[in-house]
Amino acid sequence: MTANDNTVNIKSDEAYHHGDLRAAAIALGLEKLASQDVPDLGLRAIARELGVSATALYRHFANKDALLDALAREGIRQLGQSQLTAATAAGGGYAAFQATGVAYVEWAVANPALFAVTFACKPGPDMADASSDDNEAFRQLQAGISSVLPQLEPGSDRASAAIHAWSLVHGLANLILSGQVANDPALIRSVVGLTFGLGRSPADRA
């Protein structure tokens, strides 16, 4: 690297303050995942595209896995927000609960690379840990289960029911992404409804 190159990098590094470089790296990673078939998420490649030195980026991410973990946490946040928005729009009850499941599948299909990173990253968010701060998507499923638990079959366990619902939408999303099942909105709603409508009262079925 030439002296001029070093000068450019130093000046560029100084343009990022108070975590801005970390946020910029995550934003670029998300952009790459959304627009490239095989994105290069190596720290040196990210630093090069941001116009900073690799050393500057290593201050925020110890290695590539640390960046992937940050992207996974952002994926969980986006997925959970998508579910919350859908549930709110549905107005509560079983309609909202089913909407969280449909939103899960639709978000995964619309963001295949980020979806893959989100659940492949190790170590990453513990989705089965209800107390985790990085668990918004799973919390939305549990919130839906909580709202309908009194109407579920006697002896139903909320945690098991939430994992059952999660398995359904996660599996359906992967089947669509692998081309085994058609990406048909009506089909998605129908399949999700088979699980997310279980235990409805007669009044709800009407």
Report pLDDT for 139. 66
Q: Where are the domains of the chain?
A: 3-61, 66-201
Superfamily the domain 66-201 falls into:
Tetracycline Repressor, domain 2 (1.10.357.10)
Return the number of other C-beta atoms located less than 10 Å from residue 11's C-beta. Answer: 11
pLDDT score for 174: 97
Residues 6+ apart with CB under 8 A from 18: none
Q: What pLDDT shows up at residue 49?
A: 94
| pLDDT digits (tens), the chain, 206 positions | 444 444 344 445 556 655 699 999 999 999 999 998 888 999 999 999 999 999 999 999 999 999 998 998 899 888 888 888 998 898 877 888 888 899 999 999 999 999 999 888 654 445 455 455 555 666 665 666 666 555 555 555 766 777 788 889 999 999 999 999 999 999 999 999 887 665 444 444 44
Does the model's pTM come out above 0.85? no
The pLDDT value given to residue 77: 85
